[in-house]
Chain A
Amino acid sequence: MQRLLNASGCLDALVAPEVARQLDGFVTKTITPLPREGNAPPRIAETAHGMLNAIGLANPGRGRFLAEHLPRLRELGLPLWISVGGFCAGDFAETCAELADVEAVELNLSCPNVDEAADSAAEIVAACRSATPLPLYAKLSAAHADVAEVARAVADAGADGLSLINTLRGLTLDPHTHLPVLARGSGGLSGPSLKPVALHAVHACYAATHLPIVGMGGVASAQDVVDMVACGARDVALGTALFADPEAPRRIRGELSGVDFEGVFARAHVATSPRVVAV
């Protein structure tokens, strides 16, 4: 079967290695050139069918990650995906240039909780492409009028795959004060309410690029995994579901035994091919 991963920022493998070991690979929290403490609390809020987070890319920074965290992560013996972030193409490329011997690099082009990088997704991917031979996955947001167009642009710039989707910006209010619950105001929406948006993005981007896709957004069950694959995802990642159930990967894998993924994925290929319209 295809790989089951965690969504970046939804697991700390050094604190919970027994959860990480249930996965086929561990995706790190996004690493930026300088350390970031993240946003002021409160940083999370539950919504009717999901949650908002405004963590703000809290991370130890590139130097400490490479010197202290990465060697300890390697000891887990899991394939590592390094999520890379920054505020201009050079930030991303410099981190990529320092990485070696990892499964893949995921470029976080879509964090809703920091100010956006000044450069376009395609410019960032192109800069990273010249900096590393490692597989590059571009993590995109569905908050574009046409996410498939962004997917085509990053594919042309040299991306090897796509991670779809990041959280969508949202807001929730305290019913008593009518003020935002999160200190930052807005945050990234995740959980079950994101799934239809994610399925659409996977479907549209697979049709547009045929690149390998890690599908994520509201995946909490075997059926959700099958749906992602049916839309064109090769691999699937769990995010919010890990918060509610640290044994979710083992449970889902158990429920998936016997599923013919090649068959399901083949249907995705058919479903996204141009249709012949009878006249």
Chain B
Amino acid sequence: MPRRERLSVVGVEPVGAYALLRLARGGIDPGTPGQFFMLEAPGRVLPRPLSLCLAPPAELHFLIDPIGPGTEALSLLARGDTIAVYGPLGNGFELGVERPLLVGGGIGMAPLPYLAEALRFPPAILGFRSERHAEAAALMPGAEVVIDPVFVTDVLPAGYDVLACGPEAMLRALPPGAQLAWEAPMACGYGACYGCAVEIEGELKRLCVEGPVLATAA
């Protein structure tokens, strides 16, 4: 069950171009890989939806790309600060797959370290726009890394059950039958605002309650 709690910041560590926000877990359940949490962004009106990156004992880790005022405020938190966290929310990845292959693009790699743990470290391919962004692959030991202009779809082997998260163009380029974690701006994260509608297979879906992980037709 989702719950809302104020959690303490354990630390914020730079990971290439990104920041890894470490929170004390409190009474919050880490949920299934691919589920997300709404994190209070200090000084902003709306919280930010972030999927869980790692769940070591007593902590919750979130990988943040500081691209706007909310994610920037989150990346500037310091040890001892507290923020309200609400979750876990939405539907995560279906873990009962035979030959998993994890595919991540940029900050879309965020939920994959936690997913890799749950699936006992299956093969993974990560794509990044620069060497500096690619430093985040350190969170996924053993992953194959490609850097723009090479795309993950250029090196994708056949015959796997793909579980992916990344930019929309990457998700739409993946073969049918994949489990895809989508992204959209969200105000609430729990079905109240109707803001996170995304058109998938000709239908507008509220990503927070019907996703963020959706399976495409095989």
Chain A bound to chain B: yes
Residues in A lying within 8 Å of B, measured CB to CB: 9-12, 15-16, 19, 29, 37-38, 40-47, 49-51, 53, 55, 58, 191-192, 240, 242-247
In the complex, whether B150 has a CB less than 8 A from a CB of chain A is no
In the complex, whether B65 has a CB less than 8 A from a CB of chain A is no
Which residues from A are CB-within-8-Å of B197?
38, 41, 43, 58
* Cβ–Cβ contact A245 & B84, under 8 A: yes
Nearest-neighbor residue (CB-CB) of A56 within chain B: B194
Closest A-B pairs by Cβ, 5 of them:
A44-B195, A15-B191, A243-B188, A243-B187, A55-B194
Residues in B lying within 8 Å of A, measured CB to CB: 4, 40, 44-47, 69-70, 84, 86, 184-188, 190-199, 204, 209
* Cβ–Cβ contact A242 & B45, under 8 A: no
* Cβ–Cβ contact B195 & A55, under 8 A: yes
Nearest-neighbor residue (CB-CB) of B69 within chain A: A46
B65 to chain A, nearest CB (A): 15
20 residue pairs of the A-B complex, CB under 8 angstroms, read: A9-B194, A15-B209, A16-B191, A16-B192, A19-B190, A37-B204, A38-B204, A41-B199, A43-B196, A46-B44, A49-B45, A50-B45, A51-B45, A53-B193, A58-B194, A58-B197, A192-B45, A243-B47, A243-B188, A246-B192
* Cβ–Cβ contact B188 & A242, under 8 A: yes
| Complex CA–CA separation, A50 to B40 (angstroms) | 15
| Complex CA–CA separation, A53 to B195 (angstroms) | 7
| Complex CA–CA separation, A247 to B184 (angstroms) | 23
Taking A49-B45, A243-B46, A245-B4 as contacts, is the C-beta distance between A16 and B190 under 8 angstroms? yes
State which of A42, A191, A245 has its C-beta within 8 Å of the C-beta of B184.
A42
State which of B45, B194, B204 has its C-beta within 8 Å of the C-beta of A46.
B45
* Cβ–Cβ contact A44 & B193, under 8 A: yes
B89 to chain A, nearest CB (A): 10
Nearest-neighbor residue (CB-CB) of A47 within chain B: B45
A19 to chain B, nearest CB (A): 7
Nearest-neighbor residue (CB-CB) of B84 within chain A: A245
* Cβ–Cβ contact B86 & A246, under 8 A: yes
State which of A19, A37, A58 has its C-beta within 8 Å of the C-beta of B192.
A19
A244 to chain B, nearest CB (A): 6
Taking A51-B45, A243-B46, A247-B4 as contacts, is the C-beta distance between A40 and B192 under 8 angstroms? no
* Cβ–Cβ contact B45 & A40, under 8 A: no
B214 to chain A, nearest CB (A): 15
State which of A10, A40, A244 has its C-beta within 8 Å of the C-beta of B47.
A244
